[in-house]
Amino acid sequence: MINDKLGEDEVLLSILYDFLDHEPPLNPLLASFFSKTIGNLIARKTEQVIVFLRKKDQFIDLVLKHINTSAMMDLLLRLISCVEPAQLRQDVLHWLNEAKVIQRLVGLIHPSQDEDRQSNASQTLCDIIRLSRDQNSQLQDVPEADPLLAVLES
């Protein structure tokens, strides 16, 4: 019932989303609760939550702004790995690719960035490679390649 209520009410989703609109660093415990809540909603109310997040122009920017908090890394990976059906997953991958997530993560691996940001960005890239390759091998019937993996491999 909680998933239904939260996942279908844009006002409640907006209240939850507003957690991201703070200056770093986020409280790690609260960030973990936020990430798990959004991740749970992505898994259970996939279409409604993805539509909501795509409407938020700053969502990717805010997640990457807070990538020094490992919970944000987890949230990004849930977007890549927990979205079903396959066509919606491809749409999400294209959305992330259009937002240049891979290039932006690579850009965060720079001496000007703090150690946690660099570490989480590099770990996220490694996990994207692993998850994308695993899903590609499991889903042989996917008509098109994973755009994030293609960018990483290029």
The boundaries of the domain holding residue 85 are 2-153
pLDDT of residue 144: 81
Looking up residue 93, the CATH number of its domain turns out to be: 1.25.10
Average pLDDT taken over every residue of the chain? 94
Q: Quick one: tokens of 111?
A: 């001496």
For residue 45, count other CB atoms closer than 10 A to its CB.
Answer: 18
Instruction: Count up the domains in the chain and report the number.
Output: 1
What confidence tens digit (pLDDT) does each residue in 43-94 have?
999 999 999 999 999 999 999 999 999 999 999 999 999 998 989 999 999 9
User: How many angstroms separate the Cα of 15 from the Cα of each of 10, 43, 88?
Assistant: 9, 19, 25
Rounded-to-integer distance, Cα 11 and Cα 7, Å: 10
Residue 95 has pLDDT above 80, yes or no: yes
Predicted local distance difference test score (pLDDT) of residue 117: 96
For 98-152, how does the pLDDT look when each residue is reduced to its tens digit (9 = 90+)?
999 999 999 999 999 999 999 999 999 999 999 999 888 876 665 688 999 999 9
